[in-house]
Structure 1
């Protein structure tokens, strides 16, 4: 079917899937028919406090059934979603609420011990209270070209910018994602990725309503709970960052029944070839997909069925339908197609800097095309450092270091050097004991001298933001 808007698609799930389970959150179990009714009531609640078509409403809360009802309720009322990272502190959230012009923000008081308040003029609503259920059922006419969401970038390279996407873009992008990820009607989808992120909201909630999959929201990653849900609820779909699968492999001691798992989807970080091999060999997954995406363009590339372990681990697949990938003269990855954002909210100069006159989005990522079509990411433009005149790309160096059996996780940054300008420094989370000298010597045998790190610091864990990206500014 060809829906033009997200509310149109979500509300149609009442007829398409009826009494099949839509959401399971602890003791809360809702069918598609029940959740659609609650979404319509939530839309009435938003209208009741003066939310009108085009107004912006923020959600600053963890994954839950209420989050699902709230987001589709506000979209059904004609509003635009502004999701906020739950790891943000008060000032960070206030900045986004102010710059987005949000009329209201839904919060879960007490989550992670945070004080969920808002700037003057922004209504604060307890997402766990009675607000969502108190309205008269409603839906407002929305257009496919209307802005559906304003997602703020992760802010690892500067102040977050608000990325605007419309309804039609999102539906087309994640309709194809469902096919590539092998999401099916009746799947039981454990969503550990946060709903404030594209991976959790669009590849999670929207994809599930497109296909008729049951959503299991997880507010914080707890591996014991993950294992329990897989066994008791027969989870079939489990996307997540590589660290999720590493934890799953470590916990797979035979004491839990994981046989229901069928489809894995990963990305957001470099993936050792051996990890992909072990996921396929030691876990029951039948399909593994990886891809490349960013807030400004959704999922732009994806692996395909039949790809080898090495292809899945070392490349991010081929362009999705209707999307072009090009490599600029400086190796920057460029993207063009229907999926490119409508722009950054209230930042015309930043938008013009990101999308050139020919419609190419400049991603800031560095890459190369393998076999003419398959994309390999080799680093971030701003991460690149120059060693004695040679360009060094941290992602490439990290991929070599991950081949060492003692290395579990690694991040490489450039640091000042009196003779060479900059040299590489590696931060390593080890899975077994190894000395700095041993790993440095091994590195020199595996890569060119200018690439090999000159020093190594061992850490218990790398600093990560809530979307699984290493915060290299902290390492520097």
Structure 2
């Protein structure tokens, strides 16, 4: 198997540089580099990491949008034996600081300004909270005195011999941690999902094969690199197959159309909202999209009509849906080429080779929790054995927290989420995390968040809040505060103030009643129940 031959991600980078050599590897704006040039840049970045004092196993974070510099800095850090910690570009300073603190990252690569936000300024406000963060490298020409520019960082590595870099890369074991992706859950605090080199390579060699990614494909990577899918089904899959990576920093439909035409894009994974916007764009007819041949989507409801339109109106030969989660290396099930439109739209396909999926349900065809077992299951949550034991049982089954149904052919249909997670324009939003942030407002005594339908984004957050006595907090006030405190996709689009939240006998909020209230336009009426001893709201 290819993944076994590569062994590690550094091994894959070296192999791709030799295998595809002078073929185009990455197109980022006006910059175009070959696979050989990419390999050289990654080795130079790895040398700079070694020169900076990075030791094997040290965590290296990156807080930046999709770009060539992201690819080079990330792969360079991993080649030097570092463990990658990607940060969501929509994070505010406090959110980023939490992940940096929790992972004890020693080195951070950060963008300068992106979409009008200075990430450097956001970081500086929390710098005192991060004593373990020894170095910050700004992926730009300018940086504050206490930080380093990308150019200066690379130059410092020029004194490190190539043989030292090669030895460092060769010392990485396939079973070693490759990355830690922080994902939220029911606790309200992000947890770090640790995945190994070997399982990442095996999963995305499988993904590339099942999807039908080919050498020479031109792959527009709109999915953010900080997500498992953008990094692994994007960058790493391109390396595996010799495809051309075309990173796109923002998911605007106008830019997608322009890039498809300019770069003759053939592969476009993305959320259903992006694909729908592409089909409905008023200027679509003026763009030649005939090069598109492969589209992969998922993470939300996929209308059958969307699959049919992609195939008929755009002539896309292969449209696939898939299901995954960070705790399963981002990959659990996939449809197969040749599946009919209804199977593609209404299910997430079948378990990928070498893995098992079952549903803990009362009987055949009945919904139950989705359980996963196989090489895709995470190594565990970072330094959290208790949470790991709750998620992965003694028999190796990962309890996903998602509810689904398996049909007779083994196709999985995800029907609900035990964790209450909802999807905002392709981004996973976790009510517990949003509630934790909203509870930080001085005028909020109690709060609960649910997902509600939205015509553009699929779902958005709605908050039910209880004011503290004497407070005059308004809906607009709390929404405006939220925009300063959290990533935009988490911000509630609606806030309803209530005297109390409905709770069950154990003191837990009855989210089902809140969702029902949202759907019928009413307000929750259940009286508050006392908290059990030792529990808070």
TM-score range, shorter chain: 0.7 to 0.9
Does residue 305 (structure 1) correspond to residue 325 (structure 2)? The answer is: no
RMSD: 2.5
CA contact (8 A) 1:69 1:132 kept: no
CA contact (8 A) 1:414 1:423 kept: no
State TM-score, norm by structure 1.
Answer: 0.82
Residue in structure 2 matched with residue 127 of structure 1 by the alignment: 139
Does residue 339 (structure 1) correspond to residue 401 (structure 2)? The answer is: no
State the alpha-carbon separation in 1 of the partners of residues 334 and 260 from structure 2: 26
The worse-fitting range, judged by mean Cα deviation, of 196-205 and 369-378 is 369-378
CA contact (8 A) 1:107 1:127 kept: yes
Does residue 285 (structure 1) correspond to residue 296 (structure 2)? The answer is: no
CA contact (8 A) 1:174 1:203 kept: yes
Deviations 1:184-221 (A, max 9, x none): 10011110010000110000000000000111111111
Residue in structure 2 matched with residue 67 of structure 1 by the alignment: 70
Deviations 1:286-306 (A, max 9, x none): 101111100000211000112
Residue in structure 2 matched with residue 324 of structure 1 by the alignment: 356
User: May I ask how many residue pairs the two structures share in their alignment?
Assistant: 413
Deviations 1:130-167 (A, max 9, x none): 04632234231211000000011145862110000000
Residue in structure 1 matched with residue 305 of structure 2 by the alignment: 274
Do the aligned partners of residues 412 and 58 (structure 1) sit closer, same or farther apart at CA in structure 2, a change above 3 Å counting? closer
Residue in structure 1 matched with residue 119 of structure 2 by the alignment: 115
Residue in structure 2 matched with residue 454 of structure 1 by the alignment: 520
Tell me, what secondary structure is at the counterpart of 1:422? helix
State TM-score, norm by structure 2.
Answer: 0.73
The worse-fitting range, judged by mean Cα deviation, of 305-314 and 17-26 is 305-314
CA contact (8 A) 1:152 1:162 kept: yes
Tell me, what secondary structure is at the counterpart of 1:382? coil
Tell me, what secondary structure is at the counterpart of 1:228? helix
* Cα deviation, residue 456, structure 1: 8.7
CA contact (8 A) 2:349 2:411 kept: yes
Q: Superposition pairs for residues 371-390 of structure 1, below 5 Å?
A: 371-383=408-420
* Cα deviation, residue 169, structure 1: 0.1
State the alpha-carbon separation in 2 of the partners of residues 193 and 308 from structure 1: 25
Do the aligned partners of residues 254 and 294 (structure 1) sit closer, same or farther apart at CA in structure 2, a change above 3 Å counting? same
CA contact (8 A) 1:414 1:422 kept: no
* Cα deviation, residue 382, structure 1: 3.4
Q: Superposition pairs for residues 353-368 of structure 1, below 5 Å?
A: 353-368=390-405
State the alpha-carbon separation in 1 of the partners of residues 234 and 175 from structure 2: 22
CA contact (8 A) 1:242 1:267 kept: yes
Do the aligned partners of residues 49 and 356 (structure 1) sit closer, same or farther apart at CA in structure 2, a change above 3 Å counting? same
- Unaligned 5+ segments in structure 2 are 141-149, 363-367, 422-452, 465-500, 504-509, 524-537
State the alpha-carbon separation in 1 of the partners of residues 517 and 325 from structure 2: 25
* Cα deviation, residue 272, structure 1: 1.2
- Unaligned 5+ segments in structure 1 are 385-400, 428-452, 458-476
2:229 to 199, 204, 216: 199
* Cα deviation, residue 372, structure 1: 4.8
The worse-fitting range, judged by mean Cα deviation, of 173-182 and 326-335 is 326-335
Tell me, what secondary structure is at the counterpart of 2:286? coil
Residue in structure 2 matched with residue 91 of structure 1 by the alignment: 94
